[in-house]
Structure 1
Amino acid sequence: MTKRSIFSFLTIILFLVIALLYWSAQPTNEIFTRSTLYNIEDLETVDFKAYDSVELSASDLYKADAIKKVIQGEQYRAAWSTKIKVPIVFLDTLKGGMTIVEKGGGKQTHSLELLGVDGISYTLRSVNKDVNPLIPQFLKTLHLENIVVDGISAQHPLAAVLVAELADKAQVLHTHPQLVFVPKQEILGNFNQEFGNRLFLLEYETKSDVNYTPHKNVMEIMDTDNLQELKLELKDSLVIDEGSLVRSRLFDLLIGDWDRHTKQWGWAVQKQDSIYNAIPIGGDRDNAFFNADGVIPKLLSNKHIVKELRPFEKDIDYMEGLVYPFDVYFLSQTSESTFLEQAKTLQALLTDQELEQALKVWPSQISALDGEDILQKIKERRNDLLDYAKEFHAIIQKKKLLNAPLKGSEDLDLNASLLSCFQCADE
């Protein structure tokens, strides 16, 4: 074969690849959809108070032909379109009655902050994501919005529910998400159009004036920026529970949750004599079990493209991408022995039997699709957790202390020490 024929052959192959990529990324008719309800003829006239639950599929937006599955991945498309049964809730009677506080400010997740009669803060977080604000203009110009829209199929629609069950097994604080269907209702008022007749995760907020954790003597549950302000006031009287934070972060490695920035954490501040102990609470675990199958997702998740976008496989391919400024800020002075101790604890708590028991929280039709694969990957990661703990700790130690605020703390007036790391303020 001559050089010219080789070049011609490679050119044809490249053209075919580009054509397939373009074909698979062609826009769907919709960028955002709500869940598909079954056995309900008219959403506007049905009296949902006559029902205690509804059958629905989270979304039909991610159905794909064979070419699209090759180029953009199989992902969790089947789980998104599988029929499940979800309880119906009315906010005026939920847990004794809820008051709407405000609409959340998430980019792709629609959320509504609620206050219960018990004084506890809750939130409704949409399972269906609206990625329109995230689509770059050049993709819109090329009519390739579907690359971003379809990316949500890499998230499992019921991930947060299984993660909550696993977190209980791991003795890790979390926000206790539950799937609920919220019909249009009077209490929603002007929010009916955006939030009515939709599938949500109902969970605790990562901030609350009233304690919802099993820990006693918790004075408040607060966001990280409020914790930093409290540190300015209490100085070395306020410490973080390093063991709990290390366990939470190692737990994130087990479940493959790559998106753990600062604003996804709350802190239960517990008073113990003259010391205040801040225990971490992880929220928003939408990206657990993240599936980066397919040509485009594999390209994007290359460590040289988007290093944070780590796929959930049996092993962790690039630990560097999973270490956040949050970790350096809070764990730069934590010993390797603490990491190893917490890794051993997780290995002891998350036995095969406990993992398999946790999976039962999913509807059988969902676990039949993805359960075995997810559990096998968790087991493999658990078995290697001591090595991962050492590596995670080593990377934190190699990184320089921060010289810029954490995400969400940009407006705080912090001194240089507290800007660098939480424990630095004690020095």
Structure 2
Amino acid sequence: MTPFRRFVLSTLLLAVLSAGAQDPVLPATVPVVAGAEHDASRFHRFLFGRNWRAEWTTPIQAPVVRLDTLYGGLIPYQRSGGGESRSLRLRSRAGKEYVLRSVNKTRSNLLPALLRNSAYGSLVQDGVSMSHPYAALALPAMLTAAGIPHPAPRLVFVPEQPALDTFNAVYANALYLLEERPSGNWSDAPHLGGYRQYLATTDVKEKMRADNRLRADGRAFIRARLFDILISDVDRHEGNWRWGVPDSGAYRFVPVPVDRDQAFFTYNGLLTKLTLALTRRRLMQRFNFGIRNVTTLTSHDQLLDRFFANEMTEADWLEAAAHLERTLTDSVINVSLQAMPAEIVALSGTAICERLVERRARLRSFASRYYDALARKVEIHGSTGAEQFDVRRLPDGTVSVTVHRLDASGQKEGAAFYQRVFRASETGRITLYGAGGNDVFALEKGIRRPKVIVEKGTSKEQYP
């Protein structure tokens, strides 16, 4: 049966479900095609790539759900997203937050209105085939083994139903990933870290800027970032992170990565490769056995890395890589991939597993290369409170930077809350950001490299 005929069959089944929306008896599963529009001729595939088209156009058996019985009853209350996914937020009767995120994507809202129905718009939409439709399902077992908090997405088909109410017109009869939204109290969910409170990245930054006693777990962050590199997930902007707030401990914010729609991103095709080369879109690299350039692969999210990983040394990055090497065994990777639909595992499970195993073997090299990229320019942020930034040359020629809190009398209070030693061979520039009006910058004279730049509000000082 051709993909088009499979799609027609699925469409007819969806119509039957829609006609019987008021009937409480629904099938347990329904055959669904994630994105039939990504089927293409051999010539089109030659020009624009095979990508993950087979995975998008292969029918799978998806569980059918009724929201009024799921998790004790889920109530939709707000549209969300705004990017490529069509998302809907839901709340359980117990106050738990969930989100439905469409498996299929649309890029039309990212284009000017005049281009949406053009040939160019069609090609842009065709690029969705570069993303694996079921990648997010393949990751939870690996994340659990690596000790990285994460949501646990479920694949669901949501038919038209009374529980969707006014959202039926937009959201009914489609395939979704349903997962917990880390917000509020999830102390009963170990895979999310088991925290009673979660914050957005912008909130965490604001709190750290307001109070220098608050710290984020940099080691946990770089462990998660290396996992991103392992799976070639290039979409890790601020909105794709939540932060757990522990009840106690040295760190007040622990990273919880969410929304894994772009894992295993890949492309091929003559014109696609030529276009990306001409436009220098180096961020878009194929999920392959190796990585052409770790720095450009992560370039979309380096501002976040420079903020939360600015204290991490090369030893920290290598230890994070070694941890992933130890915990992500062949067995763990294989079991994790089995969480995708069986029809999809049969198509690409082996190829993905082989690439992950090879990339895992190179993780220390990836970690070292990315550390080198971040170490060239380091940004150290203070808070609105009073702090002292000390920059000193050590006997071995390295440069030490420490930051202390200052008490009301201007004396150092407790141990340094930031401390790192820099080598001139690695770091060319260090920028110290003082956000308060009573900061002290004690910089030893004669330090030529790294170059030290001090920014105090609107003014700037440079040493030497």
Task: Identify the residue that residue 372 of structure 1 maps to in structure 2.
Answer: 350
Deviates more, 1:47-56 or 1:72-81: 47-56
Asked whether the equivalents of residues 254 and 381 of structure 1 are also in contact (C-alpha less than 8 Å), the reply is yes
1:383 to 340, 349, 361: 361
Match of residue 206, structure 2, among 214, 229, 239: 229
Aligned 8 A contact 1:217 1:272 in 2: no
Partner of 2:18: 44
- 1:29-87 per-position Cα deviation (integer Å, ceiling 9, x unaligned): xxxx9994575552431346332221211121101111100111001111111111111
Which residue is equivalent to 1:264?
A: 240
Give the equivalent residue in structure 1 for 2:293. Answer: 318
| Contact in 1 for aligned 2:26/2:64 (Cα 8 Å) | no
Structure 1 window deviating more from structure 2 (192-201 vs 34-43): it is 34-43
> Any idea what SS the aligned residue of 1:44 has?
helix
Query: What's 1:278 paired with?
Result: 253
CA shift, 1:227, in A, is: 1.4
Equivalent residue, structure 2, for 1:360: 338
Compared with structure 1, are the counterparts of its residues 256 and 188 closer, same or farther at alpha carbon in structure 2 (3 Å cutoff)?
same
CA distance in 1, matches of 2:53, 2:435: 44
Which of 86, 92, 96 aligns to 2:72? It is 96
Give the TM-score normalised by the residue count of structure 2.
0.75
- 2:306 corresponds to which residue? 328
Q: Which structure exhibits the higher relative contact order, with contacts defined as CA atoms closer than 8 Å and separated by 6 or more residues? A: 1
Pairwise CA distance, 1:129: 0.9
SS in 1 for 2:62: strand
- Conserved 8 A contact 1:325-1:402: no
Report 1:170-209 matches (<5 A). Answer: 170-209=146-185
Q: Name the structure with the higher strand share.
A: 2
Equivalent residue pairs, number: 376
- SS of the aligned residue for 1:145 comes to helix
Deviation at 1:303, TM superposition (A): 9.1
Distance 1:244 1:351, change over 3 A: same
Tell me whether 194-203 or 49-58 shows the greater mean CA deviation. 49-58
Indicate the residue corresponding to 2:40 in structure 1.
64
Equivalent positions of 1:132-171 (< 5 A) are 132-136=108-112, 139=115, 143-171=119-147
In 1: Cα distance, 2:9 partner to 2:321 partner: 39
The structure-2 alpha-carbon separation of the partners of 1:36 and 1:223, relative to structure 1 and needing over 3 Å to count, comes to farther
Q: Residue 343 of structure 1: which of 298, 301, 321 is its match?
A: 321
2:149 and 2:193 in contact (8 A); partners too:
no
Residue 202 of structure 1 deviates from its aligned partner by 0.4
Greater helix fraction, Structure 1 or Structure 2? 1
Q: Distance in 2 between matches of 1:417 and 1:57?
A: 54
Using the size of structure 1 for normalisation, the TM-score is 0.81
| 1:248 counterpart residue number | 224
Superimposed CA distance per residue, residues 185-231 of structure 1 (whole angstroms, 9 cap, x where no aligned partner) = 11222211110111111011243344454277734111111212332
Paired residues of 1:123 and 1:202 also in contact (CA < 8 A): yes
One of 268, 274, 295 as aligned partner of 1:293: 268
Contact 1:224 1:266 in 2 (8 A): yes
User: For residue 197 of structure 2, what is the aligned residue in structure 1?
Assistant: 220
Identical positions, percent: 31
Q: Cα distance 1:39–1:100, how it changes in 2: closer, same or farther (>3 A)?
A: closer
Q: Structure 2, unaligned stretches of length 5 or more?
A: 1-6, 382-431, 437-454, 457-464
Residue type at the aligned position of 1:342: A
Q: 1:142 to 1:359 in 2, by over 3 A?
A: closer
Structure 1: which amino acid aligns with 2:214? L
Cα 1:387/1:51, change in 2 over 3 Å: same
Letter in 2 for 1:227: V
Measured in 2, the distance between the counterparts of 1:302 and 1:48 equals 53
Which among 38, 52, 58 is matched to residue 82 of structure 1?
58
Describe the shift of the 1:38–1:344 C-alpha distance in structure 2 as closer, same or farther (beyond 3 A): farther
CA distance in 1, matches of 2:251, 2:8: 44
Unaligned stretches of 5+ residues in structure 1 = 1-32, 404-414
Counterpart-to-counterpart distance in 2, 1:106 and 1:260: 15
Indicate how the Cα distance of structure 1 residues 331 and 197 shifts in structure 2: closer, same or farther if over 3 A, else same. Answer: same
